Amino acid sequence: MARDVLRDNRRGERNVGRVPAGCVFCDVVAGRVAAFEVLRDDVAVAFLDKSPLFPGHTLVVPVRHVETLADLDPDEVGPYFARVRALAAAMPSALDAGGTFVANNNVVSQSVPHLHVHVVPRTRGDGLRGFFWPRRRYADGEADAYADRLRRALSGAV
């Protein structure tokens, strides 16, 4: 079930959007659910993950409800990722970290169906080894085939 939510778009116009009932990130954005916020503006809200990989692990969500990165309007991508970048730039010095891990999950195992980017502080020896999922090598010819499929899908898209 969805509910109608009034919101201002970036041009200051009021519109009604369809938001899935129970979207906890929409509730955080609306102030109905408490969160340890680190950034809030008209583009995004960033708050600490309630189950962090490491202390300071932060989620950045767009104010407007979209489920995936592909659902974000092209003119919203730059401003949204400017906030992700700002957080990733500030995090190492703020948290005495050596760097950050920035990740976006999409649909498969996405625990909340609202676009969110994880910004995670990293230090050498923190136990997170590269990507935390299985890696594999391409079989002969497989990389060429996958690259070709992606090139064809992107043809004219950018």
Is 75 in a helix, a strand, or coil? helix
**How many alpha carbons lie under 13 Å from residue 24 in its C-beta half-sphere?**
10
Which DSSP category does 122 fall into? E
Is 80 in a helix, a strand, or coil? helix
Residues 6+ apart with CB under 8 A from 96: 123
**How many alpha carbons lie under 13 Å from residue 16 in its C-beta half-sphere?**
3
**Tokens coding 46:** 């960033």
Using CA of residue 91, residue 97, residue 115, residue 27, what is the dihedral sign? negative
The full DSSP string for 29-57 is: HHTSS---EEEESSSEEEEE-SS-SSTT-
57 is catalytic: no
Query: Among the options 65, 114, 116, 118, which is catalytic?
Result: 116
- Which residues are marked as active site? 116
